[in-house]
Amino acid sequence: MNNDMEQRIDTLDLPYRTREDLKTSLTGRDITDEEFDRILDMVFSEYEKSRIEPCEAVGVVAAQSIGEPGTQMTMRTFHYAGVAEINVTLGLPRLIEIMDARREPSTPTMAVYLLDDWTFNRDRAREVSWQIEAAPLHEFGDITIDMENMQVLVLLNKSVCDRRKITVDEIFEAAPRKIREKRHFRDFDVEGDPKKATITFIPKNRESYQNLFQLAEHVRNVIVQGIDDIERVVVRKEGGEYILYTEGSNLKDVFEVEGVDTARTRSNNISEIADVLGIEAGRNAIIHEALSTLNEQGIGVDVRHIMLVADMMCMDGEVKQIGRHGIAGEKESVLSRAAFEVTVNHLLDAAIANEVDELNGVTENVIVGQPIQLGTGDVKLIAKPVNLKI
């Protein structure tokens, strides 16, 4: 193969991968121009054969291709122990979750990859995990309720603080602020002694014991380090590098932590991905999540079917569910919507709004008993009368 041929391959109207495959299989071979032309002809005819026919019902084929193997899936694999002791919903419930485009999956998780300087060092990977994992105040010291003086005493453990790379001052600033902002409890004053590493919380209402215990509960559980949504982090070594697996997901905040590789880190919360990284990333996430859920159950579904579903879900710039609040509910035709779910409501609303059904789709035409516009039904042929001799 010479350069001229290579350039000709590049300009062909073929998919990128087909062109690359053709190039690799032809390199180093001695072929004449005639042979090259014949090869191209054969590649083209093969490619044309592999393409979907016009008017083919791809949606129905996709639905069947995902639906039939779906019946083989385990019905309830809630909380199947996935990687590293973290529970992940898998199987049919997860697939339903993806197709329904829930705002929050029932078990959000992330796989946080680290940059080169962090990922090969166990201690540094641990340090990143502390920045991510939500740690309540009681992990950093002793909390006692002083009933005599009606106050809550916190005695911070300096060695724990040093180990987890957080200073007493930072806790001193974060704890009261977080109690006020995140836990909406404001009726208290704070006094602190940085030298002795103590913080004293004094409730404004100094009469009520109930109030004091309430305050103590807030103090105990206030998150002073890490990201609020991420409840647990597990560090695991995979293929020589350390990866953090999390329970709970918050892409935006995790991306801001030093040492996190933003290009490889992934979450299973699709709508979060679509919000933080855009609709195209959301589309990829749907394909990846649906495919890995199916493959995990040993079900092989062609990507093209899932790609079609993902494309439909992401068509309008946001992730839409497959169902009456998403794609099916926004169809133009009244009869088509009525045929899907909540029939009476749709017909009633349509009658009130004086809607007209143009009968362009498949469902409507089946209902009224006309030929559908699919396959050969989409082609309109008019036969010229021929003079037949009888």
Number of residues that bind other proteins (CB under 8 A): 22
Q: Which of residues 237-276 bind other proteins (CB under 8 A)?
A: 276
Residues 203, 151 contacting (CB under 8 angstroms): yes
Please, what's the b/e burial string for 302-324 (b: 16 or more CB within 10 A of its CB; e: otherwise)? eeebbbbbbeebbeeeebbbbee
Nearer to other proteins, 315 or 368 (CB): 315
Chosen residue from 31, 99, 279, 362 binding other proteins by CB under 8 A = 279
Nearer to other proteins, 152 or 310 (CB): 310
- How many helices, marked H, and strands, marked E, lie in the chain? 17, 12
Q: What is the DSSP letter of 44?
A: H
49 binds other proteins (CB under 8 A): no
Question: Sign of the CA dihedral 70, 74, 77, 81?
Answer: negative
Could you tell me the CA-to-CA distances from 211 to 137, 188, 324, 368 in Å, in that order?
Answer: 19, 10, 47, 68
Residues 250, 133 contacting (CB under 8 angstroms): no
Nearer to other proteins, 174 or 307 (CB): 307
Tell me the three state secondary structure of residue 151.
strand
Please, what's the b/e burial string for 53-71 (b: 16 or more CB within 10 A of its CB; e: otherwise)? eeeeeeeeebeebbeeebe
- Provide the minimum distance between the beta carbon of 317 and other proteins in the complex, in angstroms, as a whole number: 4
Residue 154: which residues within 8 A CB-CB, separation 6 or more? 137, 141, 142, 143, 175, 198, 199, 200, 201, 219
Nearer to other proteins, 51 or 384 (CB): 51
Helix (H) or strand (E) holding 87: strand 87-90
Nearer to other proteins, 98 or 287 (CB): 287
Nearer to other proteins, 58 or 303 (CB): 303
Chosen residue from 167, 209, 228, 278 binding other proteins by CB under 8 A = 278
> Which of the stretches 26-34, 82-90, 232-240, 300-308 binds other proteins when contact is defined by CB under 8 A?
300-308
- Provide the minimum distance between the beta carbon of 308 and other proteins in the complex, in angstroms, as a whole number: 11
Nearer to other proteins, 320 or 337 (CB): 320
Q: Indicate the pairing of strand 266-267 with strand 188-193.
A: unpaired
Residues 141, 197 contacting (CB under 8 angstroms): yes
Q: Which of residues 174-203 bind other proteins (CB under 8 A)?
A: none
Nearer to other proteins, 247 or 289 (CB): 289
CA dihedral 302, 307, 309, 314 (to 10 degrees): 170
> Can you name the residues that pair with 112 across neighbouring β-strands?
244
Chosen residue from 8, 15, 162, 325 binding other proteins by CB under 8 A = 15
Nearer to other proteins, 113 or 118 (CB): 113
- Provide the minimum distance between the beta carbon of 273 and other proteins in the complex, in angstroms, as a whole number: 10
| Of the candidates 130, 126, 135, 131, the residue with the CA atom closest to the CA atom of residue 224 | 135
Nearer to other proteins, 76 or 304 (CB): 304
290 binds other proteins (CB under 8 A): no
Chosen residue from 212, 287, 301, 310 binding other proteins by CB under 8 A = 287
Tell me the three state secondary structure of residue 101.
coil
Residues 257, 131 contacting (CB under 8 angstroms): yes
x/- contact string, 301-340, with other proteins (CB under 8 A)? --xx--x---x--xxxxx----------------------
> Which of the stretches 11-19, 30-38, 52-60, 381-389 binds other proteins when contact is defined by CB under 8 A?
11-19
Chosen residue from 7, 13, 16, 210 binding other proteins by CB under 8 A = 16
- Provide the minimum distance between the beta carbon of 135 and other proteins in the complex, in angstroms, as a whole number: 29
- Provide the minimum distance between the beta carbon of 309 and other proteins in the complex, in angstroms, as a whole number: 14
Binding site for other proteins (CB under 8 A): 15-18, 20, 276-281, 284, 287, 303-304, 307, 311, 314-318
